[in-house]
């Protein structure tokens, strides 16, 4: 009996131990395997599950595309970082929308066959670090072809003179397909110009002074510029500019020639002034010598008259009678030693007159500025007057300057009031 009771207690204890072990095992298993739904979502990496990287859209059509993510959309918002004009992205649903209106393309804001990048992204409202940035590409096309046009920023007809310069820009009125390259053609070969190869390039050229040559029969030439633009399908458009070119004045060369002629006339004036100075000095020396002879002759005659009338001795009176004859004898001596230089006097007057006339000529024909339209006429006038003056004084030997005489001394003598008074014309 006691044995049966002991066995019953032992079996009951073992069953209780097994039941507790099973309960503890069940509890531990439940604690290891239960994971919350939010924790499982956080463990998944955010991504766009229907990403379309490339869209092709016809003009006057509408693009609608809804992007989706692998997580609940209510906890995320969509945004655009950079996009063409008119593209919209709904921030709550990720709906991409664009209406391709023709006004965008006519105004030049959008172009056909150009890949536009739409940069966008999606970000968590709970965790700012959880976001995805991506982009897609949109290309627009049209079945209606509008040709591109070239438009020069200048009139089609232009008149220039040699030495003038022309500068203008070639603009493009873009059509369906933009102009990719421009080629320029001319009917007359030209050089030293800036070429036009693409839209908004500038053409710049200065007409050379030898564009119309001296042996050309025509006094005007027409230069035709043709600008041919082409797109990638070789659809062409041509813009033409005609330039009518007339003979012009080579101002740099003509100004140098004017300076050369002016210096030549001034040098000839300086030689004339020096010659006038030498002639005047010789005339003055001759006049002084003749005056000395006249005074000596008069004094001798006067002394002879005084001795012959008031002399105390007969010898003195006889000597007084001889002295007047001596005075008369000095007259031919005076003419022989120092003849009156009437020709030199006239030559000096003529030289002075020519020098003053040439001085006035140089002052009157001075150029005004660097582009004096009368520069050629002034050069010809000075050359003709210089030639006439040299022919007028062709027999006159010109005097050169030496170390004993400077140009300042000659100029001072030429402008001396006494000299001017002496050679000034007198009117009775």
Asked whether residue 31 is assigned to any structural domain, the reply reads no
Provide the pLDDT for residue 326: 59
Provide the pLDDT for residue 275: 83
Provide the pLDDT for residue 144: 78
Answer whether 365's CB lies under 8 Å from 378's CB.
Answer: yes
129 and 221, same domain (yes or no): no
- Is the pLDDT reported for residue 228 higher than 80? yes
Asked whether residue 282 is assigned to any structural domain, the reply reads yes
- Is the pLDDT reported for residue 1 higher than 50? no
User: Going by C-beta distance under 8 Å and a sequence separation of 6 or more, which residues neighbour residue 307?
Assistant: 316, 317, 319, 320, 323
Distance CA 425, CA 299 (A): 34
120 and 168, same domain (yes or no): no
Stated pTM of the model? 0.49
pLDDT digits (tens, 9 = 90+) for 289-327: 656 656 666 666 666 666 566 656 666 656 556 666 655
Q: How many domains does the chain have?
A: 3
Long-range pairs, 315-324, Cβ under 8 A, ≥24: 324/300
The closest alpha carbon to 274, from 412, 92, 118, 143, belongs to 412
Provide the pLDDT for residue 402: 62
207 and 135, same domain (yes or no): no
- Is the pLDDT reported for residue 335 higher than 60? no
Asked whether residue 317 is assigned to any structural domain, the reply reads no
Distance CA 238, CA 135 (A): 40
Q: Dihedral sign for Cα 365, 366, 369, 370, please.
A: positive
Which of 104-113, 139-148, 154-163: highest mean pLDDT? 154-163
Query: Domain boundary residue among 94, 109, 141?
Result: 141
Provide the pLDDT for residue 239: 94
Pairing mode, strands 236-246 and 157-161: parallel
Per-residue confidence band for 245, with pLDDT thresholds at 50, 70 and 90: very high
Distance CA 329, CA 335 (A): 11
For helices 342-364 and 375-392, what crossing angle results, to 10°?
180
- Is the pLDDT reported for residue 153 higher than 60? yes
Distance CA 158, CA 162 (A): 13
Q: Among 13-22, 183-192, 203-212, 416-425, whose mean pLDDT is lowest?
A: 13-22
pLDDT digits (tens, 9 = 90+) for 7-61: 454 455 554 444 444 444 444 444 455 555 555 656 688 889 999 899 999 888 9
Per the prediction, the chain carries an average pLDDT of 79
E-strand spans in 21-143?
54-58, 62-66, 76-82, 88-89, 95-99, 115-124, 131-141
281 and 233, same domain (yes or no): no
The two tokens of residue 81 are 């970082």
Distance CA 346, CA 340 (A): 12
342 and 275, same domain (yes or no): yes
E-strand spans in 105-177?
115-124, 131-141, 149-152, 157-161, 165-173
- Is the pLDDT reported for residue 113 higher than 50? yes
For helices 314-337 and 251-310, what crossing angle results, to 10°?
160
Distance CA 163, CA 211 (A): 9
Distance CA 225, CA 206 (A): 14
205 and 342, same domain (yes or no): no
Asked whether residue 322 is assigned to any structural domain, the reply reads no
Distance CA 59, CA 411 (A): 89
131 and 170, same domain (yes or no): no
Query: Domain boundary residue among 141, 174, 200?
Result: 141
The closest alpha carbon to 99, from 84, 87, 108, 111, belongs to 87
For residues 332-358, give the mean pLDDT: 71
User: Going by C-beta distance under 8 Å and a sequence separation of 6 or more, which residues neighbour residue 12?
Assistant: none
169 and 244, same domain (yes or no): yes
419 and 347, same domain (yes or no): yes
C-alpha to C-alpha distances, 150 to 60, 91, 147, 174, nearest whole angstrom: 27, 43, 10, 9
For residues 225-239, give the mean pLDDT: 91
pLDDT digits (tens, 9 = 90+) for 77-101: 999 998 888 899 999 999 999 998 8
State which residues form the domain around 118. Answer: 42-141
Distance CA 354, CA 393 (A): 9
Helix spans in 107-173 (H): none
User: Going by C-beta distance under 8 Å and a sequence separation of 6 or more, which residues neighbour residue 297?
Assistant: 327, 328, 330, 331, 334
User: Going by C-beta distance under 8 Å and a sequence separation of 6 or more, which residues neighbour residue 108?
Assistant: 174
State the CATH number of the domain containing residue 217. Answer: 2.60.40.10
């Amino acid at each position: 009996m006691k044995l049966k009771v002991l066995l019953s207690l032992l079996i009951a204890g073992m069953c209780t131990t097994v039941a507790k072990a099973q309960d503890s095992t069940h509890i531990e298993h439940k604690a290891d395997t239960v994971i919350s739904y939010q924790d499982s979502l956080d463990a998944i990496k955010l991504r766009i599950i229907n990403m379309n990287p490339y869209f092709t859209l016809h003009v006057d059509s509408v693009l609608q595309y809804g992007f989706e993510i692998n997580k609940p959309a209510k906890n995320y918002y969509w945004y655009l970082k950079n996009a063409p004009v008119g593209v919209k992205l709904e921030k709550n649903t990720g709906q991409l929308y664009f209406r391709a209106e023709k006004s965008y393309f006519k105004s030049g804001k959008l172009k056909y066959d150009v890949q536009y990048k739409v940069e966008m992204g999606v970000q968590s409202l709970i965790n700012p670090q959880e976001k995805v940035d991506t982009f897609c590409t949109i290309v627009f096309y049209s079945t209606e072809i509008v040709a591109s046009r070239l438009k020069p920023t200048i009139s089609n007809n232009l008149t220039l003179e040699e030495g003038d310069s022309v500068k203008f820009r070639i603009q493009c009125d873009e059509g369906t397909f933009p102009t990719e390259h421009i080629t320029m053609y001319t009917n007359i070969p030209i050089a030293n110009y800036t070429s036009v190869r693409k839209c908004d390039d500038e053409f710049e050229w200065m007409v050379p002074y030898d564009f119309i040559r001296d042996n050309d029969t025509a006094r005007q030439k027409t230069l035709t510029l043709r600008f041919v633009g082409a797109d990638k399908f070789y659809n062409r458009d041509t813009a033409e500019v005609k330039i009518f070119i007339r003979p012009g004045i080579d101002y740099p060369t003509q100004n140098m020639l004017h300076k050369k002629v002016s210096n030549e006339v001034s040098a000839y004036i300086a030689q004339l002034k020096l010659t006038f100075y030498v002639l005047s000095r010789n005339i003055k020396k001759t006049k002084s010598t003749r005056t000395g002879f006249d005074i000596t002759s008069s004094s001798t005659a006067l002394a002879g008259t005084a001795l012959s009338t008031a002399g105390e001795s007969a010898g003195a009176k006889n000597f007084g009678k001889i002295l007047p004859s001596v005075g008369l004898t000095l007259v031919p001596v005076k003419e022989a030693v120092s003849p009156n230089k009437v020709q030199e006097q006239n030559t000096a007057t003529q030289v002075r007159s020519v020098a003053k006339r040439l001085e006035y000529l140089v002052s009157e024909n001075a150029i005004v500025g660097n582009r004096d339209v009368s520069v050629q006429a002034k050069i010809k006038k000075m050359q003709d007057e210089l030639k006439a003056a040299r022919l007028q004084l062709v027999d006159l030997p010109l005097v050169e300057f030496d170390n004993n005489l400077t140009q300042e001394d000659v100029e001072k003598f030429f402008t001396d009031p006494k000299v001017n008074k002496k050679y000034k014309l007198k009117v009775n």
